[in-house]
A and B are shown apart, each in its own frame.
Chain A
Amino acid sequence: ILNVEQSPQSLHVQEGDSTNFTCSFPSSNFYALHWYRWETAKSPEALFVMTLNGDEKKKGRISATLNTKEGYSYLYIKGSQPEDSATYLCAFPNNAGNMLTFGGGTRLMVKP
């Protein structure tokens, strides 16, 4: 069983604040690291799939970095907006690449 940890579990920020959270994963047998956003009453939606050490990806105000050697990824949100309120999940495939193990998520709440 892979250990994928996310921190913090929840985060409350004010509109306009920038924020970041962490995903830790096993550094051996790395295949890829996924980030998803899960809004209430919707289904999880992919943000990024990262495969290379040092990878940085960006989508609008959201960006992510990857360190496969030390086994962590950061997700950054610049200038948080209320519509960014969601649970952010990271996921890590097992060494056969066939099972995505999800972290517990970081629940972000952005106050207007």
Chain B
Amino acid sequence: GAGVSQSPSNKVTEKGKDVELRCDPISGHTALYWYRQRLGQGLEFLIYFQGNSAPDKSGLPSDRFSAERTGESVSTLTIQRTQQEDSAVYLCASSLTTGGITEAFFGQGTRLTVV
């Protein structure tokens, strides 16, 4: 596609429910990143994919968070048993190569509100 696409753009969910956030990166981009921004805070790294594998999952805040990527394309971030502190804007980005030497292209984000 022309850019990084995320869906849904907004999600309101009840505490305790599971949510799935989707990211469609730019076609051919090897690296894919998930970040979140909670209110008043900076960008917090969650997870990185190199192709379909995630070498480092230590950024995920808890075991309620999981992510996968298939076909070196679409990625989903799943949050189980959502809590109010999970409310944030979740941003996905992709870049052509790994190694951090090419720019990251960001999606518009998913605004998650847990009530």
Interface residues of A (CB under 8 A from B): 31-32, 34, 36, 42-46, 49, 51, 89, 91-94, 96-105
Contacts and interface: CB of A to CB of B under 8 A. Distances in A.
Contacts of A42: 108
8 contacts: A34-B103, A43-B106, A44-B104, A45-B106, A49-B103, A97-B98, A100-B100, A102-B35
Contact of A93 (B4, B42, B100, B107): B100
B100 A103 contact: no
Given A102-B43, A103-B42, A104-B42, A43 B91 contact: yes
B43 A43 contact: no
Interface string B3-19: 01000000000000000
Nearest to A43: B106
Interface of B: 4, 31, 33, 35, 42-43, 45, 48, 50, 55-56, 59, 91, 93, 98-109
Contact of A46 (B48, B50, B103): B103
A39 to B, nearest CB: 12
Given A43-B91, A43-B109, A99 B45 contact: yes
Contact of B100 (A31, A36, A45, A104): A31
A38 to B, nearest CB: 8
A10 to B, nearest CB: 13
A96 B33 CA distance: 14
A105 B42 contact: yes
Instruction: Give 6 closest A-B pairs by Cβ, nearest first.
Output: A93-B100, A46-B103, A97-B99, A43-B106, A97-B100, A102-B43
